[in-house]
Amino acid sequence: MKTYLKVISIALLVMMLSACSRHNTADNPMNSAPTPEPKQIAEPIKSGEPAGTSAVETAVKANRSYRAQPPLPVITAGAAAIPAVQSGYCWDYLGCADIAIGAQRYEGMSLTVVQPGERIGIVLNYEPQPSSVVVAAVGDDNAYDPVPLIEGGISAPEEKGVYYYMYFANWTTEDGVYTLNQTSAVFAFEVR
């Protein structure tokens, strides 16, 4: 089972890193601060684009509006909100960021208290919706254990304790060959 979890962890990390763009052009200022989201859709790339511009980048710039930051899921337990904290991502012109996972992202934050077995709703208010979503429990050793996502939610564990989860969303081209964007978030709650 531990081998399976390690394979899943490595596969998710490779998926996130595979979407990263390594070059830095005027159209992809990876080291500059993000700008507010423009009101118009980006102009299509003209034929004289710089060398190294990929077909995926061309499609993204032509057909999608720029977002200043990756979206975060809205997570609830009944009427109570469970904060989601941004983790790693590869997002449009922002490039990629590797950010700590699990308890490290929640230091100093108060945890939402939930009941054993309570339904935890998970919604991403973003269009288009991701091509795939994975939710995984984060173990003490930061190993991921995938959790079934049923009708937009999961069930809180029956045992009392503090639980950390990772939310992964992935957008691909229609044929599923290329990754367009990826984001992940950490959320946690306490079962009492």
**pLDDT tens per residue, range 35-79:** 433 323 333 334 344 444 444 454 445 455 556 789 999 999 999
Lowest mean pLDDT segment, chosen from 97-101, 118-122, 146-150, 157-161: 97-101
d(CA 114, CA 112): 6
Exposure string for 63-90, b = 16+ CB within 10 A, e = fewer: eeebbeebbbbebbbeeeebbbbbbbbb
Query: pTM for the whole thing?
Result: 0.67
Q: Which two tokens stand for residue 157?
A: 């564990």
Sign of the dihedral through C-alpha 88, 94, 96, 100: negative
Number of alpha helices (DSSP H) and beta strands (DSSP E) in the chain:
2, 11
- Residues 25, 29, 30, 33: what is their CA dihedral angle, to the nearest 10 degrees? 170
d(CA 37, CA 59): 18
What integer pLDDT is reported at residue 10 of this predicted model? 54
d(CA 49, CA 94): 19
* Mean pLDDT computed over every residue of the chain: 76
